[in-house]
Amino acid sequence: MRQRKQRKQRKRYVRLWTVMVAAILLGTVGSGFYRTFAAGDDATYRGLKIFADVIDLVQNNYVDPVDTEELIHKAIQGMVSSLDPHSQLLPPEAFEELQIDTRGEFGGIGIVITMQKGVLTVISPIEGTPAYEAGIQAGDIIVEVDGESTKDMMLWEAVKKMRGPKGEAVAITIVREGAAKPLEFELVRDIIPIESVRHLTVKPGYGYIRITNFQENTTHDLEAALASLESGETPMKGLILDLRDNPGGLLNQAIQVSDVFLDSGAIVSIKGRLPKHTKVFDAHPDRDRRGYPIVVLINGGSASASEIVAGALQDHKRGLILGTTSFGKGSVQTLETLRDGYGLKFTIARYYTPSGRSIQAAGIEPDILVKHRFLEPAPEDDRMIKEKDLKNHLEAFPVLEEEEAEEDEMDEEVEEDETGDGAQNRTPRRRSTQNRYGPLDPEGLQADNQIMRALGILVSYDIFKNFNG
């Protein structure tokens, strides 16, 4: 009897360890893990045993039946997301959605969203889409999608629920600052083109280009926009490059866009723990020399790839940066394909501007600080959420172990100060997106004080360069 019980127990643990091996296979690429494990990492071995014990106890004793595979996926997700805010395990649906974001078009309602402090928040509506026409605004918090609460919902799940075939309706409920009660919208999905570059002549000789994100065809579209502006009757005297509320995108596109305006020198360098993740990307001489001055617009919504462009042009004195401090995402993620359609997005390096600056959790500081003029005044202490506000954000530079204790003490003091002045209770201010994401027409641009300030600088430069000192 005792032997039979022991055999059953061994079988149970064999089954559990089979599940564990499957989990590790799901979360790792190649055979590096097995080489490390075979080398006798006792801490890893003990940790896996504890993990197996927990799965066993939950599977056999929890009050309700549990899905073991789902538990393992959530465990891996928790492990990866604890590293930093931008690393995550992507189920097949999320992996597919992420790939869609960098190409072509999709069926949906037309909003850019993010997860800020656990709430699903609208970054901006996209011009001409159902969400834009219905009046969805930046800063709106989506609390329900088709009657289902977004609390504890993953970002990819929310995206998937709002995307769908053209012509089908989706209901969303939002909470808006200043609104007495939640607002309900029923939106009919449409085909949402992913158009990242738009341009317009704001004044003869002065062009305006807005880049809303960095996708596969951004550089090609930028060069086409420049060719159109440069072919006007009046020679180009200056360019306004608008990167406000640009959340980033593909690293290679940020490099190529910077290269359009630079002839030599470093564009960006990335430095990781491994030599293969450390590299410097240099500019190349351009066939079309563009000597006219550039003013680059940024704000707290400018992140990642847009910060690479702004930092490169700023360090090379190729563009004057105007606006407010950018988001501060200075890390590089890679996307690895796993088995069964899963993907793993994780951070492999920090990036640095040509002068060696890390903007991680700090952002790009504008050369000229100009706040956007809002239709409704906002309290002075209101601020947009930045990279440094995100849980588990990376520091600007790798932290040495002996420094961690001192930094922990400093962090505690800062947290006490923030609690005292109510900083933790602040909410992101609602920003007007009418001019940033509305139609590109001269009247709309003239209502934007940051664009008009940039235009004034360019015109002044053209006047002063002809003065004799």
By three-state DSSP, how is residue 125 classified?
A: strand
- Of the ranges 58-67, 106-115, 202-211, 406-415, which one carries the lowest mean pLDDT score? 406-415
- Across the range 136-155, mean pLDDT stands at 91
Please give the single-letter amino acid code of residue 162.
Answer: M
Phi/psi-derived region of residue 389, left when phi > 0, alpha when psi is between -120 and 50, beta in every other case? alpha
DSSP for 43-97, please give it: HHHHHHHHHHHHHHHHHHHSSS---HHHHHHHHHHHHHHTT-TT-EEE-HHHHHH
Q: Where are the domains of the chain?
A: 2-82, 105-193, 197-331+348-464
pLDDT in tens, 268-289: 999 999 999 999 999 999 877 8
- Angle, helices 2-27/68-81, rounded to nearest 10 degrees: 50
| Residue 208 buriedness (CB in 10 A; 0-12 / 13-18 / 19+) | buried
Beta bridge partners of 414: none
- Does 100 score more than 90 pLDDT? no
- Of the ranges 45-59, 93-107, 182-196, 426-440, which one carries the lowest mean pLDDT score? 426-440
Topology of domain 197-331+348-464, CATH: 2-enoyl-CoA Hydratase; Chain A, domain 1 (3.90.226)
Alpha helices in 117-217 (DSSP H): 130-134, 155-162
Beta bridge partners of 161: none
Cα(101)–Cα(374) distance, rounded to whole angstroms? 30
Greater model confidence, 80 or 422: 80
* 304 in catalytic set: yes
pLDDT in tens, 278-328: 999 999 998 778 999 999 999 998 999 999 999 999 999 999 999 999 999
pLDDT in tens, 182-196: 999 999 999 887 778
- Does 154 score more than 90 pLDDT? no
Residue 449: per-residue pLDDT: 93
CATH architecture designation of domain 105-193 = Roll (2.30)
- Give the number of other Cβ atoms within 10 Å of residue 285's Cβ: 9
- Does 50 score more than 60 pLDDT? yes
- Across the range 33-41, mean pLDDT stands at 50
pLDDT in tens, 382-407: 456 677 777 777 877 776 554 444 44
| Residue 268 buriedness (CB in 10 A; 0-12 / 13-18 / 19+) | buried
- Does 439 score more than 80 pLDDT? no
Residue 175: per-residue pLDDT: 96
Residue with tokens 């869609």: 100
Of the candidates 258, 304, 306, 432, the residue annotated as catalytic is: 304
- Does 62 score more than 50 pLDDT? yes
Contact between 458 and 295 under an 8 Å Cβ cutoff? The reply is: yes
Max alpha carbon distance in the chain (Å)?
104
Ranked by mean pLDDT, the top range of 81-90, 352-361, 403-412, 425-434 is 352-361
- Does 45 score more than 90 pLDDT? no
- Does 258 score more than 50 pLDDT? yes
Do strands 238-242 and 294-298 pair parallel, antiparallel, or not at all (unpaired)?
parallel
- Does 441 score more than 80 pLDDT? no
The pTM of the full predicted model, rounded to 2 decimals, is 0.71
Confidence of residue 380 (pLDDT cuts 50, 70, 90): very low
Ranked by mean pLDDT, the top range of 150-164, 165-179, 378-392 is 165-179
Of the candidates 242, 329, 358, 432, the residue annotated as catalytic is: 329
Contact between 434 and 401 under an 8 Å Cβ cutoff? The reply is: no
Q: Measured between alpha carbons, how far is residue 103 from residues 62, 129, 309, 344 in Å?
A: 44, 18, 20, 19
| Residue 68 buriedness (CB in 10 A; 0-12 / 13-18 / 19+) | middle
Q: Measured between alpha carbons, how far is residue 447 from residues 378, 420, 452 in Å?
A: 18, 38, 8
Alpha helices in 213-250 (DSSP H): 218-230
* 329 in catalytic set: yes
Of the candidates 315, 358, 386, 389, the residue annotated as catalytic is: 315
- Does 32 score more than 70 pLDDT? no
Q: Shortest CA distance to 245 belongs to which of 119, 353, 385, 389? A: 385
Greater model confidence, 299 or 103: 299
